[in-house]
Structure 1
Amino acid sequence: MKFSVLFGREVSTWSEEWKHECEIRYLAGMKLGDRNEALDGVKDGMRGIKSIRGEKAVAHLRAEIDRYAALKAKAG
């Protein structure tokens, strides 16, 4: 079990919640340009998350990244 910033409680490290937390934490830790390339896939013809999961999923990831950053800032 690990504490999830996004869910505000401990979650199993085998759970979908933890998988989501790890993805968001990884993306949030990237430089903005690199993150945009990973999400949009605009560099060197590389497929981004948008081409795999769609625009709605990328919009959700961006919102979660912002929420994660706000929660981390609030926690200190």
Structure 2
Amino acid sequence: MKYSVLAGREVDTWSEEWRLECEVLFLAEMPLARRNEALDGVKDGLRGIRQIRGDAAVAQLRELIDRYAALARA
């Protein structure tokens, strides 16, 4: 079990909540330009998360990244 900033409680490290938290943390720590490339896939024709999972998934990740940053600062 690990503490999840997004969930506000301990979660199982094998759970979807923890997987999502790790993904959000990974993306949040990237420089903004690199994060946008990973999400939008605009560099060298490489596919990004948008091309693989769709617009809704990218919108959710961007929202969670912002939420994570706000919670981490508090």
Indicate whether the TM-score tops 0.5. Answer: yes
**CA–CA separation in structure 1 for the residues paired with 2:16 and 2:31:** 25
1:70 matched residue in structure 2: 70
**CA–CA separation in structure 2 for the residues paired with 1:27 and 1:35:** 6
**CA–CA separation in structure 2 for the residues paired with 1:72 and 1:7:** 12
Identity %, equivalent residues:
69
Deviations 1:7-51 (A, max 9, x none): 000001000000000000000000000000000000000000000
Secondary structure of the equivalent of 2:24? helix
Report the RMSD for the aligned CA atoms in angstroms.
Answer: 0.3
In the alignment, structure 1 segments of 5+ residues that lack a partner are none
Normalising by structure 1, report the TM-score.
0.96
**CA–CA separation in structure 1 for the residues paired with 2:8 and 2:39:** 25
Normalising by structure 2, report the TM-score.
0.99
